Structure 1
Amino acid sequence: MGAATAFFLRQRGRSVILLERFLVGQQASGVNFGNVRRQGRFLGQLPLANRSRRIWGKIAELTGSDVEFLPVGHVRFAWHKEQVGVIEEYARHARQLGLDLEIIGRNSLRERFPFAGGLAVAGSYSPNDGHANPRLATPAFARAATRDGATVVENCEVLSLEKVGDDFQAETPQGLFSAPCALISNGAWGGRLAAAFGEAVPITPGGPQMGVTEPAPYFIRPVVGVSTSIPDEVIYLRQIPRGNVIFGGVRRGPVSLEVGRSKFDPANLAPQFLQLVRLVPALRHLRIIRTWSGVEGYMSDDLPIMGASGKVSGLYYAFGFCGAGFQLGPGVGDVMAELIDTGSTTTPISDFTIARFVQAREQ
């Protein structure tokens, strides 16, 4: 979010300083699954997701880098009959918001997606979604922002942020940085800085549980997920052209914000693998060669914080994307740059205002 905002602010001619706690893309932005999906989101988020998808389509041109974005489609399988009505209703509403989804019945699923195990009762297919490499995307925006004149300072933790007169001052181990506007976009740590400005929010850190298999012949083209109300059935996977299958889901691991790391819990691997072979039986023959985790921030209502501060002029937020921010990143950057530069945005983001928590406490 921060790197994309820096890039789009430079496109608008604004001077920018991007302060990175570690390296660009080292935290959640670089260790996530890499899903560029729109379906399954909160419906009010679709205008933002659609704006972001348009940027993904020209990301190589904008940044000058190949981030391995592949619009190969995204399919969600439903295991239970009662879920069919859920995906059908979602598709009806999504169509009104610019996202066309195809509902596929049981008999057509195996024909369309021969890798599937045949247990799903229906599926929802979004043909223009896909995946990208999270290790490449954020650094690409940061390099492009630097190319265009932004200042990017890595290994520069913000120890404190306060407004002094008309400017914000960020204290860091590398000195004091000042600017008339400030964007807090530091993921799971965002709640701490927001609280310092009197805008505490209910954010909880969590660690996604990720893994990757040895390479196999390329046979799973779309990104694959599940539509379910049962948390232990939540699984997702994608195969990259060189053959490895990347996967995640089922449970989250513990996180230490002080250490800034999250570990993969080996106890999660068995339930993950059960769900993986439920989706794609052929995966039972592959070795898992690496597992990892990261640090993500989850809001109590599963919606991010995005927009202007309700208390301090010139202060903005973009954090707490609840493990679903990778696809949104370019769009968030574009919207936040528009908001900071003009005072408004053409994409609705009122559902994500930090003021919703202040209002809830006052009621």
Structure 2
Amino acid sequence: MVADVPVEKVPAARRRGRRPPAFDWDGLRDDLRAAVPDATAALVVTGLIFWWLYSRIDSGVSATLVVMPFLADADAYWMYWLCQAFGWSGLLWAWATTMLGLVRSSAGSRVLRISAARVERWHRSTSLTTIALMFLHAVMFFAELVRGNENGLGWPGRVGTALVDTFVPGGYSSGTGRVAILLGLLALYLAIPFGLAFYLRARTGSRRWRALHRFVIVVYVLSVWHTLLYGTNVWFNGWPRTTLWALQLPVAVLLLVRLLAPARRAERLRASAPVGLPTVRRAAALVGAVVVIGALLVVIVSGRDGGRTPGVDGAGLTVMPWMVWTATGMLGVLVVLALYLVTRAERRAR
């Protein structure tokens, strides 16, 4: 979640006359301090979302009650609603940091007349805040499971079961949550290496860091998918769900801009470029971005995406956990391949 075209920033340890360590702890501490105002704003937004969700449940107008009527007692399930509030604010911050990252890694910052350093600073702050919000979302879900779990095993059993259901990918084994929670956990666990790899660039080098960080868009896609499957108040087709889809349109458009006009000239696709793996990869990415934009427009105009309809029994899961695991394995192969290609290119350059 850190922009893949870094501002030439001297690591904090080097500024202080020391050899920089493998992990830039000083830089992370500086960014954490800079993220305090952003994180404070995120907590305020989370509180407002919690109040909104709580009041809708308390008044009985939330669509969630159609699917899970036992949640009607807002006071008893306040931790669940706080969990949902952290989830929604986390998705909002993920959207913001993804937009900032795409602006930073394209020519967009020059068009907006905002310095690249400022955009990247905002991007790093919102990235750290996003990871924290994702973690708090999971923690509150864990706390609610501990509170509501009556397995007769006492506190150790309740805590152990809740830990597996919340933090072990594939541990949650009932209903839509088999896929939804798996997607959310993969997003959380992938966000850490893809996002914090920025602070390892002294060891890995900028090229490997950029190659790894480009996969961070997968985290955002998994987060949106998780929300569409399990998010409060987007259970059914309607304006809340359509609005969530509409928010993805500027992300797709910025991704297309990023591919057409990247900040790094070496990444630009030219008609005279020789046909090779980089050219084919960029062309395929462009085609994919155009297809995504078209699909988003269809969903936004029609207001339907195949989601639930009130009063109609939903279809079974079309994506099973084994499919998610297979795709995750393929992602791992792509990450290793990208790092290998970068390493080979560096060796040839020498």
State the TM-score, normalized to the length of structure 1.
0.26
Structure number having the greater strand percentage? 1
Which of structures 1 and 2 has the bigger CA Rg? Answer: 2
Structure number having the greater helix percentage? 2
State the TM-score, normalized to the length of structure 2.
0.26
